[in-house]
Amino acid sequence: MIYVLGSVNNDISIELPRMPKKGETISAENCRMGLGGKGANQAVAIAKLDYRPQEVGASVKLIAHVGKDAAGAELIAKLQENRVDTEFVRKVNRATGTAIVTVTPKDNRIIVYGGANSGLTKSDVDEALEGATSADTLLCQLEIPLYIAAYALRRARQIGMTTILNPSPVKTPLPDDIYYNVDIIVPNETETQALTGINPQDRDSEIAAMRAFHMRGVQYVVLTLGARGAAMSDGAYIFDRIPARKVNTVDTTGAGDTFVGALALAYPHIGMYSFKEACLFATRAASITVSRYGAAESIPTAAEVDELYCNVIEGGDGFDDRF
């Protein structure tokens, strides 16, 4: 079982031809509401990318808070439609987290109101992890209070679970015991720069940044590098780069979440993938997410990633597969 501790947001996503200037009002081309939040997106990625038959049951439990409002009820229903176990998603007396996502052809910008996500407690973590064993994984991001993520990682380590941290949105400095209790860290370029002081822009700086995380006690490091792909290191033998697949990118929201969810599923959980293969699977899955609008709804299923893989083998669509 993978336990995801994190945020659930009502994403209001607005497509714009460009960002408005100061004092300017412009018309949006589209507006949609959907399931978002880093915790929810990563849980959905795990559930959608799990190719095992439904009879096996849910592979992911989300530990989260939503409000006792219409948005909260709707988001829980969407999580369940996607086969995420919501036993530990509590409805509380605060507004459901909300994200305003502005998407232009150049980039996206997000404003988040934490709301219910800010009220997660240690007892939420204790209750959820009561039945966890060393065969299970805990995956966290930082769109919830930092001390709750730190507490959960400590508890998971005591149980002997595999622990994964996506330090997003970045909070600096991260306490030493977070690094100590994390097996796999998956930061993007901005987070890497904020946490290590190194901008990973070429092979030397990527290696230096990954070493900085190893020096703090993390065994596995994966840097996600946007359209440049990902760099990874296991601190001993593996030091590699995976280029991103070239796709028609329309909205990158949820790309990082797809990558992290896919990695958490493929590597420690299913265990049929090597570290490198799991990163390749994650890269392929995320390349589909960026070619669609939205957050959770843009995440592909295992069948869609498979189909892409078959096309790569048969058609040779230019994906530079270095394995």
Distance (Å, rounded) from C-alpha 57 to C-alpha 256? 25
Query: Taking the mean position of all CA atoms in its chain, how far away is CA 8?
Result: 12
The residue (of 13 and 287) whose beta carbon lies closer to ligand ATP is 287
Query: Taking the mean position of all CA atoms in its chain, how far away is CA 185?
Result: 11
> Does the footprint of ligand ATP cover residue 103 (CB under 6 A)?
no
> Does the footprint of ligand ATP cover residue 283 (CB under 6 A)?
yes
Half-sphere exposure of 94 (CA within 13 A, CB side): 17
| The pair of three-digit structure tokens given for residue 163, joined into one six-digit string | 């622990």
Span 5-64, contacts to ligand RIB by CB under 6 A = 9, 11, 36-38, 41
The residue (of 161 and 184) whose beta carbon lies closer to ligand RIB is 184
Q: Which residue has the tokens 């958490």?
A: 264
Which of 159, 170, 227, 250 contacts ligand ATP by CB under 6 A?
227
Point out which span in 29-37, 79-87, 126-134, 227-235 binds ligand ATP (CB under 6 A).
227-235
Which of the choices ligand ATP, ligand RIB, none does residue 164 contact, using the CB cut-off of 5 to 8 A by kind? Answer: none
Distance (Å, rounded) from C-alpha 148 to C-alpha 283? 29
Contact 2, 265 (CB under 8 A): yes
Distance (Å, rounded) from C-alpha 193 to C-alpha 190? 5
> Does the footprint of ligand ATP cover residue 245 (CB under 6 A)?
yes
> Does the footprint of ligand ATP cover residue 229 (CB under 6 A)?
yes
β-sheet bridge partners, residue 224: 188, 230
Which of the choices ligand ATP, ligand RIB, none does residue 288 contact, using the CB cut-off of 5 to 8 A by kind? Answer: none
| The pair of three-digit structure tokens given for residue 212, joined into one six-digit string | 């900085």
Distance (Å, rounded) from C-alpha 89 to C-alpha 71? 14
Distance (Å, rounded) from C-alpha 246 to C-alpha 29? 25
Taking CB positions, which residue lies at the least distance from ligand RIB? 36
Taking CB positions, which residue lies at the least distance from ligand ATP? 256
> Does the footprint of ligand ATP cover residue 253 (CB under 6 A)?
yes
Which of 287, 297, 299, 308 contacts ligand ATP by CB under 6 A?
287
Which of 4, 221, 223, 295 contacts ligand RIB by CB under 6 A?
295
Query: Taking the mean position of all CA atoms in its chain, how far away is CA 30?
Result: 25
Contacts with ligand ATP by CB under 6 A: the residue count is 23
Distance (Å, rounded) from C-alpha 142 to C-alpha 150? 10
Shortest distance (Å) from residue 235 CB to ligand ATP:
20
**Catalytic annotation on 257?**
yes
Q: Which of 257, 306, 317, 321 is catalytic?
A: 257
Helix pair 255-264, 38-49: axis angle to 10 deg: 50
Distance (Å, rounded) from C-alpha 114 to C-alpha 117? 5
Note the residues at the interface with ligand RIB (CB under 6 A): 9, 11, 36-38, 41, 99, 110, 112, 143, 253-254, 256-257, 295
Note the residues at the interface with ligand ATP (CB under 6 A): 168, 188, 224-227, 229-230, 244-245, 247, 249, 252-257, 259, 283, 286-287, 290
Catalytic residues: 257
